[in-house]
Structure 1
Amino acid sequence: MNEIACQFLVIGAGPAGYVAAIRAGQLGLDTVVVDSAKPGGTCLNIGCIPSKALIHAADEYFLLKEAAEGRALPGLTAGTPGLDWAEVVAWKDGIVNRLNNGVTGLFKKSRVKLVEGRARFVDGKTVIVTSETGEQRISAETVVIATGSEPIELKSLPFGGKVISSAEALSLRTPPARLAVVGGGYIGVELGTAFAKAGSRVTIVEASVEILPLYDADLVKPVRRRLEALGVEVMTGAKAQGLAGEDGDLLIETEAGEEQRIACDSVLVTVGRRPVTEGWGREELVLDMDGPFIRTDETRRTAMRGVYAIGDVCGEPMLAHKAMAEGEMVAEIAAGHRRVFDHRAIPAVCFTDPEIVSVGLSPAEAKAAGIATSVGRFPFTASGRAMSLRREDGFVRVVARADNHLVLGVQAVGAGISELSAAFCLAIEMGACLEDLAGTIHAHPTLSESFQEAALGALGRALHV
């Protein structure tokens, strides 16, 4: 058996793992990263990147369709648009391939060795990697577990046939005529919206009282209105029971306790994701667990010295950018730097229509923590830029301490609002106060002015509303 010894070993080449490996290589550590799939993990291959590509393609097609039907910007018309979804998917795959090659190139640039295969722990310093060409034994001084997450499968709706996960949804050769989405979280609503724009008749089934249950009602309202305008049927307080009948209708139990069938060609199950904590030899290690996650401290060290866990496998929020930040941190710790993880400014972005951004504390969360706040909100109905874009459905809200005006959180909903997330995070990361935001000159006319205006509102000095 071939044997390799290194300083820094990463299990998993997703956003957490590949960033950890690249940063470790940059810092001069002899680094090996192991994965059985292409570099990039779920996010790059079957998640964040391909889904945003298809969402954009659906948006573009829908705009053309609106113009053809005389519902676009006054004065604009267009002929009947065509949609070759297979070609769109091929374009999406091209983007993924480019990024795969980009990560591989960064490994080479940072002198990181990529080992393809499935790793299994022998002990806290050693793994056996199995591939088509045989087995390799790899030992390391520092080991990082970055095994990611996978879609949750319902017992009543196991994946297969017409029941698909988000991964299969991103590779469909054509939009299903009738699509039932089980789970109204961000993945279900994002993809449901995209397929509705591409021509599918979409029904979203959510067990909670509202879709996007992690966001407050004010942020969700514009999304609900848009779904209604797109013809998407939303059924809340409803539970999927399985498939029924010869045609395989989706059987649900409504909030009133009644059974109902939804005719569909595909059932997309998006009820969440779970960390991958099995299949790589966890039983050979002495790790503490926190529910389904591996328990770590503020440096992402596990209960075993020299063993770290990062990304989805170590806890919420299960987001790529949080995983990347953890990967960078543990590499620097292994190289002798002093670092701890600060989770206060991790943005949550929902790429729905309109988009949602939330970072830091909401008004309700601040109240629950016993913090008196000043809250400012600026609606896009008062924004000249939003009017010129024909997208007035949204707002920016700033939450700050009442005593010293320290910014605690920012929430926003609106078309393209995800691009302002960095500004929101930076304000919290840098310890900005309302006066800092209000005193910063924002370009006019831009949507970013709404950030300044919300701060002015919180100070009682609103100018344009």
Structure 2
Amino acid sequence: MKTHTTHLLVIGGGPGGYVAAIRAAQLGIATTLVEGQALGGSCLNVGCIPSKALIHAAQQFEAAVRAGSGHSPLGIRAGAPAMDLAVMQQWKDGVVGRLTGGVGALLRKHGVEVVSGWASIVDGKTVEVAREGAEPARWRCEHLLLATGSEAIELPGLPFDKGGGPVVSSTEALAFTELPRRLAVVGAGYIGLELGTAWRKLGAEVTIIEATSRVLPAYEEELCKPVLASLRRLGITVHTNYSAEGMTRSSDGLRVRSGHADEFVVPADKVLVAVGRRPRTGGFNLESLQLAMNGRAIKVDARCRTSMQGVWAIGDVTGEPLLAHRAMAQGTVVAECIAGQRREFAPLAIPAVCFTDPEVVVVGQTRQAATEAGITHVSAHFPFVANGRALSVEAGEGFVRVVARQDNHLILGWQAVGAGVSELAAAFTHSIEMGARLEDVGAIIHAHPTLGEAMQEAALRALGQAIHV
């Protein structure tokens, strides 16, 4: 078996892996990246990007349906629209293809060796790669970076059927070639709500089953109320405090139960199981390294080093939060550490965004988190119903909230719910990372009319200086 050498070997070509590889190459480090599927990982291929493309297409179709029904408040009238699902999927796949192709081009430009194949760890400095159409080969390295991502969680009674069966993961739910007439979604987290809402807007009957007491259980209830109201307005049925038991014998319905109550059946042509994701630690002989673990996740320190010298790990495989932008930032840290720089992954805030309808953004500490940390704080919110830009684009629902220390007004966190608030995440994060106070944000001139003015107004309100509310 032929053996190659490299300084840094990266297993996984997702957002964390390819960013680490490119940054390492920029720093003059000989780098090899091994990926068994498509470059870009789950995020670019079957996650973040295609789901947002699907959400956009669904929003456009819903707007056309409203115009066709004569219910558009803007006075727009049109004939009844139709959705060509094949064309939509082709467009979505085109978006994905452009981005993954771009990743490949960037890796080539920076001189990263990309190996298409499945890696299996031999030891902390040796990896064997099985390649389709070629003999297996080995790579020896000084540094090994594990960036293998995460995988969808299966439920015992609802295993995924990738052969066209009724039970699917988010991967298959992004690629339906026919509109499911009745879609049941198990799990009311952000993945279930994003995809369930999109397919409802495209015409499916959607029922959501959630084991906890409310939708988006990981987020503050006040942030979730506008999302729940939107689900009901769209005609989506939501069953909270219910668990999914399995399919009916005829596979045309989902059996659900609440506590010890009798079962009932939710009719369904397709069942999307979206109960979360977990680190992908199987299939590449990770256990041979005997690394320290946090449950299923690889344990790392502030520099993303594992318990074995020369072995690093980033992204979803290291546990929560499972976010592509976290993985990217960690990848940069690792590359710069290997190059001899003194770097740590120590962000003050990592933005989290739900692309629901309306969108939800959380950055930094919430009021509850500040209280639990023993921090005396002040908070204030500004409603979008008082924001000119929001009203002019039919987006008056929701608000922006700021949380700050009471003693020196240092900003601790932001929360927002509303149409388009995902684009405020960067400004929220900047203010926290740069140590802004309420007075700083309140004094900055914000362009009018924009949604960003709600950020300034929330800060002013927390100071008792509210102008527009």
In structure 1, the partner of 2:73 is 73
User: 2:203 aligns to what?
Assistant: 199
Letter in 2 for 1:208: T
Q: Which amino acid aligns with 2:421?
A: I
Q: Who is 2:116 aligned against?
A: 116
Structure 1 pair 128/58, CA: closer, same or farther in 2 (3 Å)?
Answer: same
1:247 deviates by 4.5
Partner residue, 1:350? 354
* Residues 345 and 360, structure 1, Cα contact 8 Å, conserved in 2: yes
Q: Which residue of 1 aligns with 2:87?
A: 87
Q: Which of 159, 178, 184 is 2:188 aligned to?
A: 184
CA distance in 1, matches of 2:383, 2:262: 40
**Counterparts of 2:465 and 2:76, CA distance in 1:** 39
Residue 140, structure 1, aligned to residue 141, structure 2: yes
In structure 1, the residue matched to 2:379 is 375
After superposition, the CA RMSD in angstroms is 0.9
What amino acid sits opposite 1:130 in the alignment? Answer: A
Counterpart position of 1:171: 175
Structure 1 residues 255 and 197, CA, compared in 2 at 3 Å: closer, same or farther? farther
Deviations 1:202-234 (A, max 9, x none): 000000111111110111000000010000001
Q: 1:391 to 1:255 in 2, by over 3 A?
A: farther
* 1:121–1:245 Cα change, 3 Å: closer
Task: Write the deviation string for residues 381-429 of structure 1: whole angstroms up to 9, x where unpaired.
Answer: 1111111111111100000000000000000000011011000000001
Whole-Å Cα distance in 2 between the matches of residues 255 and 423 of structure 1?
43
Q: Give percent identity, aligned residues only.
A: 54
Deviation, 1:144, is 0.3
User: Which residue number corresponds to residue 442 of structure 1?
Assistant: 446
For 1:414, which of 415, 418, 434 is the aligned residue?
418
State whether residues 239 and 252 of structure 1, in contact with CA within 8 Å, keep that contact through their aligned partners in structure 2.
yes
Q: Is the 8 A contact 1:254 1:260 kept in 2?
A: no
- Counterpart of 1:151 in structure 2 is 152
Structure-1 separation of matches of 2:208 and 2:360? 18
Residue in 2 that maps onto 1:387:
391
3-state secondary structure, aligned to 2:353: strand
The answer to whether structure 1 residue 44 and structure 2 residue 44 are counterparts is yes
**Residue-by-residue CA offset, 1:29-65 (whole Å, 9 max, x unaligned):** 0000001111000000000000000100000000000
3-state DSSP class of the match of 1:134?
A: coil
- What residue is the counterpart of 2:130 in the other structure? 130
Q: Please report how far the alpha carbon of residue 258 of structure 1 lies from its aligned counterpart in structure 2 after TM superposition.
A: 2.8
SS at the partner of 2:320?
Answer: coil
d(CA) in 1 for partners of 2:172 and 2:46?
8
Given that 2:183 and 2:271 are in contact with CA atoms closer than 8 Å, whether structure 1 keeps it comes out as yes
Tell me if 1:457 matches 2:458.
Answer: no
C-alpha contact (below 8 Å) 1:236/1:255 kept by paired residues: no
Please give the TM-score of this superposition, normalised by the length of structure 1: 0.99
Aligned-partner SS, 2:371: helix
Which segment is superposed worse, 238-247 or 364-373?
Answer: 238-247
Distance 2:310 2:271 in 1: 43
Aligned to 2:104: 104
> Is residue 178–residue 263 contact of structure 1 (8 Å, CA) maintained in 2?
yes
Gaps of 5+ in 2: none
In structure 2, how many angstroms separate the alpha carbons of the residues matched to 1:223 and 1:273?
A: 22
* Distance of 2:319 and 2:253 partners within structure 1: 35
In 1, Cα distance between equivalents of 2:338 and 2:131: 28
What residue in structure 2 maps to residue 331 of structure 1?
Answer: 335
TM-score under structure 2 normalisation?
0.98
Counterpart CA distance in 2 for 1:371 and 1:330 is 33
Distance (Å, rounded) in 2 between the aligned partners of 1:37 and 1:417: 33
Distance 1:175 1:254 in 2: 29
Structure 1 residue 344, shift from structure 2 partner:
2.3
Give distance in 2, aligned partners of 1:397 and 1:174: 41
Note if 1:209 corresponds to 2:213. yes
Match of 2:401 among 394, 397, 400: 397
Q: Does structure 2 conserve the Cα–Cα contact (< 8 Å) formed by 1:238 and 1:255?
A: yes
Bigger drift between 78-87 and 223-232 goes to 78-87
CA distance, structure 1, for counterparts of residue 179 and residue 421 of structure 2: 27
* CA shift for structure 1 position 244: 1.3
Instruction: Give the Cα–Cα distance (whole angstroms) in 2 for the partners of residues 415 and 456 of structure 1.
Output: 22
C-alpha distance in 2 between matches for 1:8 and 1:404: 45
SS at match of 1:297: coil
- Measure, in 2, the Cα distance between the counterparts of 1:283 and 1:381: 54
1:4 aligns with 2:8: no
Q: Name the aligned partner's letter for residue 97 of structure 1.
A: G
SS of 2:160's equivalent in the other structure is coil
In the alignment, does 2:293 pair up with 1:289? yes
Inter-partner Cα distance in structure 2 for 1:201 and 1:343: 41
Compute the displacement of 1:294 (Å). 0.3
1:107 corresponds to which letter in structure 2? L
Q: Give ranges in structure 1 of 5+ residues lacking alignment.
A: none
Deviation (angstroms), 1:245 = 3.6
Matched with 2:27 is 27
